[in-house]
Amino acid sequence: MPEAPEGHWLTIVGIGEDGLHGLSSAARAALEDAALVMGAARHLALLPALKAERLSWPVPFEEGVRMLLSRRGKPTVMLASGDPFWFSAGTSVTRHLEQREWTAHPAPSTFALAAARLGWAIQHIECHGLHAAPLTRLRPCLVPGRRAILLLRDGPAVGELAAWLTEQGFGASTLYVLEALGGSRERIRQCTAETLDLTDIAHPVAVGLSVAGEGRTLPRSSGIPDDWFDHDGQITKRPARALTLSALAPRPGETLWDIGAGSGSIAIEWLLSHPSTAAIAFEADPERAERARANALALGVDRLTVIEGRAPDILEGRTRPDAIFIGGGLSQSLLETLFALPGGPTRLVANAVTLESEALLAQWHALKGGDLLRIELAQAAPLGTRRGWHAAYPLVQWSIAL
């Protein structure tokens, strides 16, 4: 990458459906002085005559970033929807630049316009950009009485949203279909998800969602019921999962390795704890790996990365993350590998059920310290005409800071 020029050369201008109306004088001046204006075709069409060359943003999007960066040092304007740094394209470019190379002039975001039209307090609602993201990302927020504003790809995507909400048991939810907000084509219509029959929804479109219905609500505490996960029996059961998540202690922005992930339940609950968390699931069985991916998608955390392979071989050359859980494949060589990897500080939690793996954790606890916990659980079950306690296998859990 060439040396950064003196002063800023790139101006990022947030533009709405009303074109130049409402733009600051500085944004207007940047457009008048630019040698090139680059943006989506619909945004370029909103501009008056300018001396600058106009260039439509290409597909794929990353090609446009490359083209823009190739003009480094020449006065350039990049057009972005509304606020360039809220579900828009700003950071796609600025992460490649130094602060002094660019400046930005945001316009009201679609979220702000939608909240203003609906009279919703934006600090109390969820905002999602779903142009290229699965609708299942909404699963954790499907709670009756909650509200959200969603940016969608196009008109047909509104129909897909309505069908998915109905399938989840939330067909009674109210949809406010918000088209071309802020422009001359602005239109707002209201219906329920189960009665949507609009066939002429225009792009760009957002939806205000007021959740209602009898669908199942995903708990936000650690240890959600096992039946939220598709599994073949290889799953950390709910009580043990809650204790394991407590020991792992997820924090915003942290990354987890889930080794021997099985159904992916630990990694998925880690991701549900905060939208900024990340997780990598390592699973040797291809069928289980695919099941973990499907579970993550269904529960709204499609950002889970699943890597097929057997530990410790699959870990070679990696740097330890913030936290590691060993749910399967516990061995002497795996523990030796984890302790030898660069990185840290790292919180390690390992669960064991067999006598052999219990003995291994006891040895490492004696050698390295940490906390060793024996968990014994029993559940009421029929016993003839009465009831008795059905005990699960004891679980030994070792947790330590590396």
Hey, where are the domains in the chain?
Answer: 10-108, 111-210, 226-401
What is the 3-class SS of 97-127, one letter each residue?
CCHHHEEEECCCCHHHHHHHHHCCCHHHCEE
**378 touches 389 (CB < 8 A):** yes
Q: Read off the pLDDT of each residue in 372-384 and give the average, rounded to a whole number.
A: 94
Q: Can 111-210 and 226-401 be said to share one CATH topology? A: no
pLDDT of residue 126: 96
Q: What are the tens digits of pLDDT across the range 204-240?
A: 999 999 999 999 999 988 999 999 999 998 888 899 9
Rg, Å, the chain Cα set: 26
Name the architecture of domain 111-210: 2-Layer Sandwich (3.30)
Evaluate if residue 2 carries a pLDDT over 60.
Answer: no
Q: What are the tens digits of pLDDT across the range 97-106?
A: 999 999 999 9
Q: Report the C-alpha gap between 9 and 331 in whole angstroms.
A: 56
pTM to 2 decimal places: 0.90
Is the bond leading into 134 cis (omega within 30 degrees of zero)?
Answer: no
pLDDT of residue 21: 81
Q: Give ∠ CA 42-47-50 in degrees, rounded to 5.
A: 135
Mean pLDDT for all residues in the chain: 94
Evaluate if residue 1 carries a pLDDT over 50.
Answer: no
Q: What percent of the chain is predicted at pLDDT more than 90?
A: 87
Q: What are the tens digits of pLDDT across the range 109-132?
A: 999 999 999 999 999 999 999 998
Domain 226-401 top-level CATH class: alpha beta
> Could you tell me the pLDDT band of residue 44, with boundaries at 50, 70 and 90?
very high
Evaluate if residue 195 carries a pLDDT over 50.
Answer: yes
> Could you tell me the pLDDT band of residue 5, with boundaries at 50, 70 and 90?
low
Q: What are the tens digits of pLDDT across the range 146-160?
A: 999 999 999 999 999
**68 touches 78 (CB < 8 A):** yes
Token pair for residue 45? 């069409």
Token pair for residue 120? 């919703």
> 387: which strand partners?
382
Look up the CATH superfamily of 10-108. Tetrapyrrole methylase, N-terminal domain (3.40.1010.10)
pLDDT of residue 392: 87
Q: Read off the pLDDT of each residue in 62-87 and give the average, rounded to a whole number.
A: 93
Amino acid making up residue 240: A
pLDDT of residue 19: 82
> Could you tell me the pLDDT band of residue 6, with boundaries at 50, 70 and 90?
low
